[in-house]
Every structure is written in C-alpha cells, then in structure tokens.
Amino acid sequence: MKSKPRLKHIIILFLNIIAIVLICILTVTGKSKADSQQYNAAADRWKNGSKEHFAQVSTFIAEDSGFTTDSLNSVRSEFIKALRDISLEVPDNVLPFSDAYSADMGTFTIRGDLTGRSEAVLTATGGDFFSFRNFQLISGSFFTDSDLMQDGAVIDRSLAWSLYGAYDVAGMNIYIDGVKFYISGVIENPATKPEKECIGKLPRIYISYDGASNLSAMSGDGEEASVTGAAVNNRGFRKITCYETVLPNPVENFAYNTVKNQFSASYSDKCSIVNNSTRFEPSVRAKAFKKIADYAVIKNNIDYPYWENASRIVEFRLTLLYFARHLLFSVPALTLIWLAVLAYKFIKQKQPVVLRAVSIFIDRRRRDIKEKFKEIKEKKQKKA
C-alpha cells in the first residue's frame, strides 16, 4: 500500500513551486528593465557580431574639474598606451575604440522661421555621441564630427512641434540665441518611464562642439539673445561633463580599470566612473544591496545627464529585485540540502540491504560476462 504524502512534504513542494515561479518572473522583469536602457549596450553595437570582447565605460565629471576638449588627446593616448602594454596591435592614426563626450550648455530660447518658439535644454556633443544613444530618428539624420559644416542640430519631437507644428522638418532652419542652425534630424521623445522621470519638461536640442563655439562667438548678434542657465564664454564652449568610451576588454575589468586609472589619478573625487556593460548583471546588482544607501546620499557635485539618471533609477530597482531573487534561490537550495540529508539517512539506515543488492547485482553481471566469454570461446572452437 502506497503511503500518503505528509502535509509538510506538500507544503515544501508548494513553496518550491512558488519560489521557482517568482524567480522566473523576477528574471524576466529584470532583463526587460535592463534592456530598456539601451544606452548601456553601446559595446554590443560597436563590436557588431565580432568575437572580440569590448566594454562600455562612462565617466561623469564635475563642471569645475577642468576636463575639456583640450584633455581628449591625452586621454586617448593613455588608452592606446594601455592597449599596447598588453600586446594588442594598435594601428597608427586609427582609434581602436569608440568614444563620445558631451555637456549641457543650459536653457536657450529657440525659434524657427515661422512664429514658433520654445525654451529648450541645449547639449554640446562630440565624437560618436549618437552611436552611444538609443535615440529613435523620426526624420533626417544625425550629424557627425566629419561634416563639412558644423551647423546641424538634432531636436526632439516636442521641439519640432513647438517650432513648426510638424515632425518631418529636417533641413528647416532654427535660431539658437539668434544664431542660425539647420535641423539635421528629429528624434522621438524618451519612451521609458525612468527617462521620462529624469528628462524634465523642456524639449532637448543637440549641437556639435564646433557649433557651440560658433554660438559662443556670435551670441547676441541676432534678434534672439536670451539665454538662461550656463552661458558659453568668449573662448568657445570646451567643457566636458560626460565622457564615454567602448574599449577592448580582453580580460575582465580591463576597460574599466584603464579608464579608472586615467581619471581617478587626475580628477579623484570630481568624477564618477560606471561600467555600463556589467552594471545590470544580476550578480552585480545583488551584491550592490549592501551599498544601497549610496543611491540616497549625494557625495559629489556631479550633474548627471538624464540618460544616466534613468539608468541609476533602473539600477536601484534591479538591486532590490535581484536581491529578492537571490533570497528566493535559498528555498530550492535548502530543499536540496534537506533531500540530500534524507537520502544520506536512508542509505545509512538501509546500508546492509543496499550492500546486499549491490553485491547481487555485481555477481549477476560477473556471471553474465563469464557466460558471454564462454559462448565466444565455444564458437571459435567450432570454427577451428
């Protein structure tokens, strides 16, 4: 007669089923939240199917750090030196990595050729800035550092509507503080909840550092000459508050340590370095639970861009989520330990019976093998 399962066995089974289901739900939810912040996946886009390993690292720098466009050559040279030190072949005059830099310039009054006008947050960009972003183009294209003219601007959907009442406005003119630019491309407004929480209510506009310098030199000559916030100076806009790079990562944390060694030595407490490629990994986030208070305490005067603030919100949520998942793993783990103990006790208790069964099995196998050899021997004798 079969014994009925005890109540505690049913409860343990039920708890394990619930734990495994919750682990699956938290895993899928966590991956979805991480994937929503595509700005952190620049390394995957850069390698484009290559088997080589790359990592994305971002450095956020305080405004008073003194880090400017004049500092870029030194940083890039140090990166190349670090790559050559580990015997990686680096061709002359070719960067074996991608980088981008940017800084918010403040809030400017923007107008179009028609009657539309709007306040907007202006960001100066350089390098492969748009390849690091997950901006979705509605019309036009992104400008690059290699463009002959550096008077292009990328604006978001909200600003395009405010200026022209339409979205397909690539090629149209706009005036920033009275200085003429043209609309290179129009991008969609941020779609994820964390990005919407961080970007603010004002539209966004992006221009090149050369364009920012032209704006500095010509500001005040036009009809519109009002600027609120951090105005550019007469020497041109050179400040960098966000530097991002995708570096080869042949060994774990090589890219992160290379960037950290370069910036920490020169800017110490005036910079914050993030390993974008690993920041959302479950093991990293579960361990970060011990330092969760860091998200509530401001330890520096760094002004993070909205895309980084959005990622930090996701980091905080994933820290809680993956820590909870980590705790749930203890249910099946403890159950396996319990089953192992029961199995050990059962074997120990039934040891004589088990040994006898094993002995019988071995004897039968030995007898079968002997009979098999005997048959083979008899067949050979008959043939002979």
pLDDT of 357 > 60? The answer is yes
The DSSP element (H or E) to which 271 belongs, if any, is: strand 271-275
Sign of CA dihedral 354, 356, 359, 360: negative
pLDDT of 234 > 60? The answer is no
Residue extents of the structural domains in the chain = 41-278, 350-384
What is the mean predicted confidence (pLDDT) over 16-44?
A: 93
Q: With contact defined as beta carbons under 8 Å apart, do 333 and 218 qualify?
A: no
pLDDT of 225 > 60? The answer is no
pLDDT of 197 > 80? The answer is yes
pLDDT of 181 > 50? The answer is yes
What is the mean predicted confidence (pLDDT) over 49-77?
A: 90
User: What does the alpha-carbon distance between residue 220 and residue 215 come to, in Å, rounded to a whole number?
Assistant: 9
- The per-residue pLDDT for 223 is 40
User: What does the alpha-carbon distance between residue 113 and residue 29 come to, in Å, rounded to a whole number?
Assistant: 46
What is the mean predicted confidence (pLDDT) over 112-132?
A: 93
Give the pLDDT confidence of 6-25 residue by residue, as tens digits. 888 889 999 999 999 999 99
- The per-residue pLDDT for 379 is 74
Closest CA to 300 of 339, 347, 264: 264
User: What does the alpha-carbon distance between residue 30 and residue 285 come to, in Å, rounded to a whole number?
Assistant: 10
DSSP state of 19: H
In terms of pLDDT, which residue wins out, 351 or 56? 56
pTM, rounded to two decimals: 0.80
Confidence of residue 266 (pLDDT cuts 50, 70, 90): confident
pLDDT of 368 > 90? The answer is no
User: What does the alpha-carbon distance between residue 62 and residue 192 come to, in Å, rounded to a whole number?
Assistant: 27
Work out the number of other CB atoms within 10 angstroms of the CB of residue 179.
22
In terms of pLDDT, which residue wins out, 207 or 293? 207
Mean per-residue pLDDT over the chain, rounded: 86
- The per-residue pLDDT for 295 is 66
User: What does the alpha-carbon distance between residue 247 and residue 46 come to, in Å, rounded to a whole number?
Assistant: 10
pLDDT of 222 > 50? The answer is no
